[in-house]
Structure 1
Amino acid sequence: MTASEDLRAGFHLAQFNVGTLRYPLDDPRTADFVAALDPVNALADGAPGFVWRLVEEGQADATGMRPAGADVIINYSVWESPEALWDFVYRTVHLETMRRRREWFERHVEAHLVLWWIPAGYVPTVEEALERLDLLRSQGPSPRAFTFSSSFTAEEAAAHEAAAHEVVDEEGAAGAEPAVL
C-alpha cells in the first residue's frame, strides 16, 4: 500500500446533493420516483464501498427532511472511495433514475452535488453538508468541496486543511491545530 493509499484508507468520501421537486412527492407525476426510492436505497445499502446514508428518524429515507427549502429534497451518504460512489451512481439501476431526473426535478443553475473527505468513522451533519455546498457554490471546487469532475484526493484535502489550520503562537513559532475534514 502506498502512502497515498494508506492516507485515503483513513478517510471516506461524503456526498450531498439536493433536488428541487417539480411536483410534490404525493403527486402522480412523481410516483415512479417514489416507487424507486426503497429499491435504490436498498441497492445503495448493499453496494460495495457504501458506509452510511442519512435517514430521517422513523423513516426509510431522508425525503421528508427539508433543510434546503420546502420543495428541495436531499440525498446524503458516505462512501469508502470516489470509485465506489461512481460505480453505484452510474453502473447500477440507479442510473435509470438519473436518466429520468428531469421528469421529477428542476434543472439547477447552481451546483447541486458536493463531495468532500471526512475521517473514517465520522458521521457528518446536515449543517456541514449545507456549508460545503455553499462553499462550492460561492468559491468553486477546492479540497474542501468538490465534484466528480473537479475532484481532490484525501491527501490533497488533508494537506490543505493542515495548511489552513497552521497557527502562529505568541512567540512566533509555528504550530498546527488538528485538521478536521
Structure 2
Amino acid sequence: MTTDSAAPAAYELAQVNIARLKFPLDSPELKDFVDALDPVNAAADGADGFRWRLQSETGNATDVPVFGDEWLILNMTVWRDTNALTAFMYQGQHRELLARRHEWFERVKEAMTALWWVEAGNRPTVADAEKALLRLREQGPTPEAFTLRTTFPPPGGASV
C-alpha cells in the first residue's frame, strides 16, 4: 500500500495467526519458543510499520482464549500494510522461529492465519479474528479475509 506521508492512512492491516500446540507451554519441548516470545515481541514492537499487538498481562497473547480450545495459541497484530508485515516476518529471530514451527505446533490443514483491513486506530478483538479465520476457511480469500499470497487493497485504497 502506498500512502501519502502528509495524510495518515485510512486503513491498517490486521493479522491473526493461531497455532495448535504439540506440548503444554510450560513443557521442556516448548522452552525455546517460550524463551523467544519476549525478544520477538520487542522486535515487532520496534519494527517499521508496526501499530499494535494483542497482549494479556503476561505481555503476549499465548493465554488469550481462541475458539474455546486451550491447545490453540493466538497472535494478533496491526501493521501499516502488507509490506511492513512481510518485512518483519521474514527477518531476524522471527524468521528463525518460523523455520522451527513444526517442532512446536501441529500441522493443520485449515487456515490458521488471516489478514483484513481495519480503520486506522481501530484494534481488532478476538471475535474479529475468529470471524476472519472462519470466513477465510469457508470462502477462501476475499477483501474481508485474505492471505499474504492473495492480498486485497484496503477499502477505496490503492493496490497493495
TM-score by length of 1: 0.81
Counterpart mapping for 1:127-166 below 5 A = 127-155=127-155
More off after superposition, 104-113 vs 59-68: 59-68
Structure showing greater Rg: 1
Partner SS state of residue 93, structure 1 = helix
**Matching of residue 65 in structure 1 with residue 64 in structure 2:** yes
Partner of 1:100: 100
Partner of 2:40: 40
1:12/1:119 contact within 8 Å kept: yes
**1:77, CA displacement in angstroms?**
0.2
Distance 2:73 2:16 in 1: 11
Q: Decide whether aligned partners of structure 1 residues 156 and 110 sit closer, same or farther in structure 2, where only a CA change above 3 A counts.
A: farther
Distance 1:101 1:140 in 2: 24
Q: Which has the higher contact order (CA 8 A, sep 6+)?
A: 2
Partner SS state of residue 124, structure 1 = coil
**1:67, CA displacement in angstroms?**
1.8
Distance 2:157 2:97 in 1: 31
Distance 2:38 2:155 in 1: 35
Q: What are the ranges of 5 or more consecutive residues in structure 1 without an aligned counterpart?
A: 159-181
1:143/1:157 contact within 8 Å kept: no
Runs of 4+ aligned structure 1 residues displaced above 4 Å come to none
**1:108, CA displacement in angstroms?**
1.2
1:65/1:73 contact within 8 Å kept: yes
**1:123, CA displacement in angstroms?**
1.0
Partner SS state of residue 134, structure 1 = helix
String of CA shifts for 1:52-74, please: whole Å, max 9, x gaps. Answer: 00001x22111111222110000
Q: What are the ranges of 5 or more consecutive residues in structure 2 without an aligned counterpart?
A: none
RMSD of Structure 2 on Structure 1 (CA): 2.0
The size of the alignment, in residue pairs, is 155
Distance 2:8 2:100 in 1: 33
Partner SS state of residue 26, structure 1 = coil
Partner of 2:17: 17
Distance 1:29 1:93 in 2: 18
**1:155, CA displacement in angstroms?**
3.8
TM-score by length of 2: 0.91
Report the AA paired with residue 73 of structure 1: I
Partner of 2:113: 113
Partner of 1:50: 50
